[in-house]
A and B are shown apart, each in its own frame.
Chain A
Amino acid sequence: MTSLSKDSQPAVQPRSSLDKNLDRGFIWLTLLFALAVAGVLIWMTVVVGIGAIPAMLKYGVGFIFSSNWDAVNDEYGALPQLYGTLVSSIIALIFAVPIGLGVALFLSEDYLPTRIQVVIVFLVELLAAIPSVVYGLWGIAVLVPIMKAIGGQIYNLFGWIPIFGTPPSATGLGMLPAGLVLAVMVLPTIAAISRDALISLPPDLRQAAVGLGATRWEAIIKILVPAAFSGIVGAIMLALGRALGETMAVTLLIGNSNNISASILAPGSTISSLLALKFAEADGLQVSALMYSALLLFAITLLVNVLAEMLVRRVQRI
């Protein structure tokens, strides 16, 4: 490589070889970091997968459909936990998605003076920083007494609907309080990321809609939210991922009963609460069974993310 003539541009020195090597080195460094993340993910899968092999060989697919958890006879199945994981997360999303989207919309519009808005945005994001055990304790201190007080009323009034079809447990613990606490926990994720998606839309979009005679409401619902759809779905999926894997708060609130009930007033359990409770005392095949359920949780999360990606692509094709 010949260097360009020096004399014509005295202010420009040729790039030193150190400079060029730093440039190249930086590319390799970032590549290394990127690969390290993927490597950790694969490593975790392999470790959990190897641990799960004995249980997979013994129980096969039947593990998913069995609701036994019998350490004495070494009979294991994770159906109640799979069910509880999905139901508690769905309850969380049912509450958190509309509220979180509402918060995101409110905070992305200019309803509030900027100074107040900044404070509220900060508070919402702070909500995400609270440790989950604190949420669990808050649930025990606030939600559980409320459930004790009104759970019976709900059952009396709406007991004919299957989802309220059992009397609440005397402890007040159950799927509903667990789902509600999960809703509060994932709310900031949905609100903050959806808001980011909304405020990063080009201002021309709103102007175009308003210029055609759309009201603020019409511009939001018909143009801005669809345009930010991929970001909003991303927010919901991150929230769902957190809800599926959340351990501490759920373990404190769900009641940890190996039980499948259509009623959300009944106690249940989730895969992560099962792992948290059993792993310390487990040995032999039970450890393998727990690894197997962890792998299932992993698979659910992966499936959710793939479905979300497909949904986003489908919508974006228009």
Chain B
Amino acid sequence: MLNLKSLFQQSPITSPMTVNKSNVNQTEPVLRAENVDIYYGDFLAVKGISMDIPKNRITAFIGPSGCGKSTLLRCYNRLNDLIKIFRIGEQSKIYYHNQNLYAPDIDPVEVRRRIGMVFQKPNPFPKSIYDNIAFGPRLNGYKGDMDELVERSLRGAALWDEVKDKLKQSGLSLSGGQQQRLCIARAIAVQPDVILMDEPCSALDPISTLRVEDLLHELKEQYTIVIVTHNMQQASRVSDMTAFFNVEPTDKGGRMGYLVEYDRTEVIFQSPKEESTREYVSGRFG
């Protein structure tokens, strides 16, 4: 399936943001954005993003509100397709392994089955805990032992011990932190390759947040994780790679997001190359 070497030769990465390959932290890229422009109608919201998301690592997107980090995240599984006026630039490409996700012959439904998503607000379905987990596998026509898969997914999300006796109860009966772990279990039940997380802890209390963060460390053994966060400490605690986005006003009165710096997390937080990154991570703006 993979033919990354030849792909690299065909489309050399031109962006200066690309990380040094000799980095110890670097594994092969799973997702690769090339010159991604994102439009809402005629309005350019995010400009010229090029970056690689390494396999089995946690990559954090940080930046002030409106910088387009969530928008970019949702491009990776084509969830932005739900927004009618959304459009990606004609020259923009997002590769998943070596397939362009925005090629005309790609079925967005297939993409989303491989690249899962966890949302900002816990959003379990108004169904039982069991059915919440089983929903995705049933869509995919999973033929194996569903009970076993449900248990494995709930264990994977560190929720099994808390809910094993009440699988028939509504997912909405759980606490906020449990609901979010249920959503993570639901995402991993379809055995995706990548899990995208859009501020997964912003609606949770500190203890639930820590549990989810611990979980992230376990999950990266098996999955590639991209997480958008407003919480700088969280980014520095959980992520291997960090991308800092910023936003600047455009002459048309709109605001445009762009990638400032993308490197290993300790570089971003301790010795960033850009002044704006240093200011942001030290809490001086944003």
Q: Which of A206-214, A281-289, A303-311 lies at the interface?
A: A206-214
In this assembly, does B125 line the interface, its C-beta being within 8 Å of a C-beta of chain A? yes
In chain B, positions 83-133 with a C-beta closer than 8 Å to chain A are 84, 109-110, 112-113, 116-117, 119, 121, 123-128, 131
Known: A211-B77, A211-B79, A213-B113. Contact between A205 and B123, CB under 8 A? yes
Smallest CB–CB gap between A209 and chain B, Å?
A: 7
- The interface residues of chain B lying within 8 Å CB-to-CB of A212 are 112-113, 116, 135-136, 139, 186-187, 190
A204, B121: Cβ atoms under 8 Å? yes
In chain B, positions 30-80 with a C-beta closer than 8 Å to chain A are 77, 79
B117, closest chain A residue (CB): A211
In this assembly, does A45 line the interface, its C-beta being within 8 Å of a C-beta of chain B? no
> Which single member of B77, B109, B125 contacts A208 (CB below 8 Å)?
B125
In chain A, positions 176-228 with a C-beta closer than 8 Å to chain B are 202, 204-215, 218, 222-223, 226-227
A208, B183: Cβ atoms under 8 Å? yes
Query: A155-179 interface mask toward B, CB cutoff 8 Å, 1 = contact, 0 = none?
Result: 0000000000000000000000000
Known: A212-B116, A213-B112. Contact between A202 and B123, CB under 8 A? yes
Known: A213-B140, A215-B109, A318-B128. Contact between A208 and B123, CB under 8 A? yes
In this assembly, does A70 line the interface, its C-beta being within 8 Å of a C-beta of chain B? no
CA–CA, A95 to B240, complex, Å?
Answer: 59
Number of interface residues of A (CB under 8 A): 21
Known: A212-B186, A213-B139, A318-B170. Contact between A207 and B119, CB under 8 A? yes
Specify the main secondary structure of chain B where it touches its partner: mixed
B79, A207: Cβ atoms under 8 Å? yes
Q: Which residues of A contact B (CB under 8 A)?
A: 110, 202, 204-215, 218, 222-223, 226-227, 317-318
In this assembly, does B82 line the interface, its C-beta being within 8 Å of a C-beta of chain A? yes
- The interface residues of chain B lying within 8 Å CB-to-CB of A317 are 170
- The interface residues of chain A lying within 8 Å CB-to-CB of B139 are 212-214, 218, 222
- The interface residues of chain B lying within 8 Å CB-to-CB of A209 are 125, 135
A214, B183: Cβ atoms under 8 Å? no
A211, B127: Cβ atoms under 8 Å? no
CA–CA, A227 to B187, complex, Å?
Answer: 20
Could you pull out 8 A-B pairs where Cβ atoms are within 8 angstroms? A205-B126, A207-B117, A208-B119, A209-B125, A211-B77, A214-B109, A223-B125, A317-B170
A229, closest chain B residue (CB): B126
CA–CA, A235 to B79, complex, Å?
Answer: 32
CA–CA, A209 to B181, complex, Å?
Answer: 16
A227, B125: Cβ atoms under 8 Å? yes
- Select the residue from B124, B135, B186 with max chain A CB neighbours within 10 A: B135
Report, nearest first, the 7 A-B pairs whose CB atoms are least far apart. A213-B113, A204-B123, A211-B117, A212-B136, A213-B112, A208-B123, A227-B126
- The interface residues of chain B lying within 8 Å CB-to-CB of A214 are 109, 135, 139
- The interface residues of chain A lying within 8 Å CB-to-CB of B187 are 211-212
CA–CA, A154 to B21, complex, Å?
Answer: 78
Query: B133-154 interface mask toward A, CB cutoff 8 Å, 1 = contact, 0 = none?
Result: 0011001100000000000000
- The interface residues of chain A lying within 8 Å CB-to-CB of B121 are 204
CA–CA, A115 to B124, complex, Å?
Answer: 33
CA–CA, A213 to B124, complex, Å?
Answer: 15
- Select the residue from A204, A208, A214, A223 with max chain B CB neighbours within 10 A: A208
- The interface residues of chain B lying within 8 Å CB-to-CB of A205 are 123, 125-126
